[in-house]
Amino acid sequence: MSTTCENLFDDPPSSVRKVFTHIFTIVREHWKPLILILLLQLVSLIGVSIVLCIFSAAVFAAMFVDFVSVTSDMRTSDMGNGRHLVNYMVGSGATRALDYTYDDGNDTQNQMSDFDFEAFFDIMIKYSGQIVVFVIIIIVVLSLVMSTFIGAMAHTAAEAYCGDTPEACKSIRVGWCHKWQIYIYQILILFVLFGVFLCAIFGGVASKNGAISFLVILVVFAFVIFFATVMVAAIPAIIVEGKSSTGAIRRSYDLCKGEFCFIFCNNFCLQCSALVLMIIADEILGIFPDVIAGLVHLGVTILLSITSSMLPFAIYISIRMRNENYTRDDLNRELMGDTQVVKATEFSAIERKEIV
């Protein structure tokens, strides 16, 4: 049993300071399972990313060849280095060689001006179908990998609030049991955001008006902030209450619509704190050896990743404690359903092995 985490229900977090106090209490008490889950997630993502990179190299080989051909057709590559090198070798001397260096004041600027941007956009349009399909594949695959570990993080936080000692294996099993609900929820959310960004890009390009394009960007930015804020409780609702993917969206909206400022302030403070912490770390670690600086950066990244994973659950519990008179006993009863699901899954697996 956890001694400090048992008292979390005694003081409902109604402010940013109290929310982060809850988070750091959980991290301090149960950092081992949290780091283990995070490392397993990282290993899984690295493996999938390698496979996707190999796949993308095969799919976009023709597009890469087209890009190379466009860059090789730049005037400076045809008439620049080769021409001046020949002039120098046939006896025009060092003065001519120096003329190349200072020709027109800025050779890099000449190269940029000679680049065929129209051909570049033509290539992007030519392969736009493949790009969109590949982006969709990346979204689908990464969401599938992330779903189990996101659920495991939420379950670890739930067990900490119950006063129990979380176990990484148990939390991963619970995340695995809810992987499809989390996966479908992530796919729905990502496709909504992808569709919004796609419409905004096409709308901005079609308008050909800077003011309208800027207005579209502001509208999309406001929508993303609102959407991310009201959906913060969806995954905790899946893990704790056993909601379906669409049911979690409705449940999160109902919980969060009246707490927009509270949730936004917590998210904003987390992002600002992460930015300030990284800047300070960069400034201070500049005087240390690279190995030490790298290790400290890794530690800071792990801490920020765990804190980001714990924040949605802390907000979810805070809202339910303050608005629904939610207690530790209620949380225990709801989690017992997940425990029974895990035990039933393990029992079925054992039965199948015995039959075989």
Out of 79-88, 150-159, 263-272, which region has the weakest mean confidence (pLDDT)?
79-88
CB 232 within 8 A of CB 257: no
pLDDT in tens, 18-72: 999 999 999 999 999 999 999 999 999 888 888 888 887 777 777 677 666 666 6
Q: How far apart are the first and last CA of the chain?
A: 39
What pLDDT is attached to residue 282? 81
What pLDDT is attached to residue 205? 63
pLDDT in tens, 223-254: 889 999 999 999 999 999 999 999 999 999 99
What pLDDT is attached to residue 105? 47
What pLDDT is attached to residue 208? 67
pLDDT value at 337 more than 80: no
Q: Work out the mean pLDDT of the chain and round it to a whole number.
A: 79
What pLDDT is attached to residue 353? 44
What separation in angstroms does the CA of 265 have from each of 17, 219, 229, 290, 325?
11, 20, 10, 35, 23
Q: How many C-beta atoms lie closer than 10 Å to residue 50's C-beta?
A: 10
Out of 50-54, 213-217, 301-305, which region has the weakest mean confidence (pLDDT)?
213-217
pLDDT value at 330 more than 80: yes
What separation in angstroms does the CA of 255 have from each of 32, 84, 188, 193?
31, 70, 19, 21
Pick the residue with more confidence: 70 or 139? 139
What pLDDT is attached to residue 14? 87
What pLDDT is attached to residue 211? 76
Q: Count Cβ neighbours within 10 Å for each residue of 145-173 and write b for 16 or more, e otherwise.
A: bbbbbbbbbbbbbbbbbbbbebbbebbbb
DSSP E strands, 234-312: none
CA pair distance 255, 86, nearest whole angstrom: 74
What pLDDT is attached to residue 309? 92
pTM of the model: 0.73
The pLDDT confidence band at residue 294, using thresholds 50, 70 and 90, is confident
Alpha carbons within 13 A on the beta-carbon side of 187: 15
